[in-house]
Amino acid sequence: MTTMTPEVFRAQFPGLERSVHLASCSQGALSRELAGELLDFQSSIMERGAPWDLWMEKVEEARNRFAAFIGASPQEIAVVPNASAGAYQIASTQTYGNGRDRIITSELEFPSVANVWVAQEARGAKIGFAQEHAGTVCAEDYAALIDERTKLVSVPLITYRNGSRLPVAEVIQIARAHGAKTFIDAYQGAGVEPINVRELGCDYLVTGSLKYMLGVAGVAFLYVRGGLTDEVSPQLTGWFGRRDPFAFDPRAVDYPETARRFESGTYAVPAVYAAIAGMKMLAQIDQTEVQRHVAALTRELTEELTTAGLQLDSPLDAARRGPQVALIDENPSELAAFLESKHIIASPRGRAVRIAFHYYNLSEDITTLLKALDEWRHI
């Protein structure tokens, strides 16, 4: 792959000519590719009315592209509405008893996933939360809770709250040693972090397309390691969870042997078009180079902010820091609104404003941000 420079990549996002987009942890910037795919969807209705054959081809294209992106096979990918649906499908197909009834998560898990695990208490599951220490959770914190009673261990690749990189590989090894399955939420990393599920060795992974994957909300992808079987068949199902959806048999509930068994109703077709656009964009760039570029930006901003005496919620250790820097402020929402008035888009969450970088961000964006923050401090 020929490495595309950040400057060339950036030129494909027209909005960056007039604004600084630092909110990829919430929504990626709009590319020309994305705008074009959404116009193609609009045209498909205008020209053909209801071209389901075309739309199903698009779903399969998205499935194939995502599989290649994470080093999986298309048969291991389910197309689902969101991360919660993906987590629920996995949680609901487990049984809780016979000595294995524990789900281990952490305080840094996004509620979209963590709430699903906690809801399984009604089915007999027992939930363990690895405790947060100084904005992160260490492998030892998970290890203290994982034993032969553990059914499933869930760990985010990067935490949404402050961009801390969690010890995913180590946790997977610990869980495997105790016979537990592992679930990875890659939403805050996919698109700016190299991901290869064969190397990770996880059993399940979920992510969606609206953040660093450069699409929009409405579609997510669930990886299910080939060969895994379900203890209970998926209860959330529908016509696309059938072996032949277009048989239209209301009595048959036959599940495919592939990850498609976790799919349910009609896909959000516009979001599928958008996901394809995002993955086309990501296919132009090397993920290792993206990670290096983003790491340089987070290091630069971290050094500038700490030198200015500002307090961060994100790790100071570069090895533990993902693609965002979390700046603590007394009024995060007001600060984000002020930045927006300066055409700088950031994402408030909790006690901090999250400043997230992608390959299209440059050092000049940091200069613009620092100038605005200086104005904010002197209001």
pLDDT of residue 134: 83
CATH superfamily for domain 6-22+286-377:
Aspartate Aminotransferase, domain 1 (3.90.1150.10)
Beta bridge partners, 105, equal 129
Provide the whole-model pTM: 0.96
233's tokens = 């068949």
Task: Enumerate residue ranges in the chain where pLDDT < 70.
Answer: 1-2
Range 90-118 burial, b when 16+ CB lie within 10 A, else e: bbbbbebeeebbbbbbbebbbebbbebbb
Distances in Å between the Cα of 198 and the Cα atoms of 176, 195, 204, 272 are: 14, 9, 11, 25
pLDDT of residue 348: 97
Range 20-47 burial, b when 16+ CB lie within 10 A, else e: bbbbbbbbbbbbebbeebbeebeebeee
Ordered by start, the domain boundaries in the chain are 6-22+286-377, 37-282
pLDDT of residue 133: 87
pLDDT of residue 97: 83
In three-state secondary structure terms, 59 is helix
Does domain 37-282 bear CATH number 3.20.20.480?
no
- Distance, in Å, from the CA atom of 313 to the CA atom of 325, rounded to the nearest integer, reads 8
In three-state secondary structure terms, 325 is strand
Name which of 133, 103, 124 is nearest 115 in CA terms.
103
In three-state secondary structure terms, 372 is helix
